[in-house]
Amino acid sequence: MKPDAAGGGLDYAHRITGGLSAFAQGWGGVARDPFGRWQPDYGALGGLRWRW
């Protein structure tokens, strides 16, 4: 069985108040396209999270 993707990621969260925190996520690596070629794959996401 051959892998379809390989890479790594990071996740960070910072509490601002008791119910509010900021977060950021990032990832990068390579993934196989439908033709079997390895292509770079990466992304990032960030925002605010509210809990009650």
Q: What is the pLDDT of residue 48?
A: 97
Q: What is the pLDDT of residue 23?
A: 97
Q: What total number of domains does the chain contain? A: 1
Is the predicted pLDDT of residue 1 greater than 80, yes or no? no
Q: Are strands 5-15 and 38-50 parallel, antiparallel or unpaired?
A: unpaired
Alpha-carbon dihedral angle through residues 4, 6, 7, 8, given to the nearest 10 degrees: 90
Instruction: Give, as one character, the DSSP assignment of residue 21.
Output: E
The neighbour count for residue 38, using CB atoms within 10 Å, is 13
* Helices and strands (H, E) in the chain, number of each type: 0, 3
> What digits encode the pLDDT tens for the residues 7-50?
999 999 999 999 999 999 999 999 999 998 999 999 999 999 99
Residue 11's domain comprises 5-50
C-alpha–C-alpha distance, residues 4 and 15, integer Å = 35
* pTM summary value: 0.67
